[in-house]
């Protein structure tokens, strides 16, 4: 029945939107950035500011 097509498109759009948001949230929160903090601190401590002038 062609009268029911808008409801079908709306339900497909809502389902796609929910899946898209869940997929983006999973990608955002599952990414763990591991920065080598110890190497950064060692570099900062090793650089001395003894000027020769």
pLDDT in tens, 1-53: 566 677 788 899 999 999 999 999 998 888 776 666 665 555 555 555 666 66
Predicted local confidence at residue 44, as pLDDT? 55
Say what the pLDDT of residue 9 is: 87
Predicted TM-score (pTM) of this structure: 0.50
Half-sphere exposure of 14 (CA within 13 A, CB side): 6
The pLDDT value given to residue 46: 56
Domain map (residue ranges) of the chain? 2-46
Q: If we measure between CA atoms, which residue out of 13, 33, 17, 34 comes closest to residue 25?
A: 17
């Amino acid at each position: 029945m062609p009268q029911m097509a808008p409801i079908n498109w709306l339900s497909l759009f809502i389902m796609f939107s929910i899946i898209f948001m869940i997929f983006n949230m999973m990608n955002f929160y599952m990414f763990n950035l591991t920065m080598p903090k110890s190497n950064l601190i060692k570099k900062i401590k090793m650089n001395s500011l003894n000027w020769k002038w």
